[in-house]
Amino acid sequence: MNLILVRHGETLLNRENRVQGITDIELSDYGRMQADKLAESLKGEPIEKIVSSPLKRAYETAKAISRFHGAMIEADRDLQEINHGDFENLTIQELKAKHISVLRQWQRDPASVVMPNGESLRDLQRRAWRVIERITETARNTIVVTHNMTIRTILCKIQGVDMLHIRGMNIDLASKTFVEFKFGKGTIVMLNDTSHLKEA
């Protein structure tokens, strides 16, 4: 079976370089254009199922994709972005000014960081991977529409690597990553494809 991991389009918080997490904000006008281009690029894929984070920015992206497929969108809270707790909505500059020790720990060992009143990457990976396991059990070609850190933790699990590798990954807005599953093992076929956005 084939799995396509999709990151949602742009929001105003993305544009302002703010920590977004579970803050529920819809796509910007530019993000909607990105979602439309992404949907066009996926219309020829043999998709049987679409599973999305329920957060507006992801679900709106999933709705754009679903126009070209007969699949209903299944919303799953386990696909939400990491809960950044007290860091939600802060700019990167504000984080550096107020929480530099946490940022330094994130640079050294991101998996060891528990966001104040939020989650850790391990928490995120555990819940997101439950969704992937359910999908692979059905063996149906599926698009998963979710978030930056959610996708990164899933890819670490697929590759069997430590989450130190999460900092070296790049998952752009409105990107698509293709994974092929055979006998329960996933192989990344294409990572972070944004060729459909070249004119966006």
Distance of alpha carbon 198 from alpha carbon 183, whole angstroms: 35
Annotation says 99 is catalytic: no
Looking at residue 45, the DSSP 8-state letter turns out to be: S
Among residues 10, 60, 69, 81, the one annotated as catalytic is 81
Q: 59-90 burial, b for 16+ CB within 10 Å, e for fewer?
A: bbbbebbbeebebebbbbebbbbbbbeebbeb
Residue by residue, DSSP assigns 128-174 as HHHHHHHHHHHT--EEEEE-HHHHHHHHHHHHT--GGGGGG----TT
Among residues 8, 69, 84, 196, the one annotated as catalytic is 8
Annotation says 81 is catalytic: yes
Please identify every residue annotated as catalytic.
8, 81
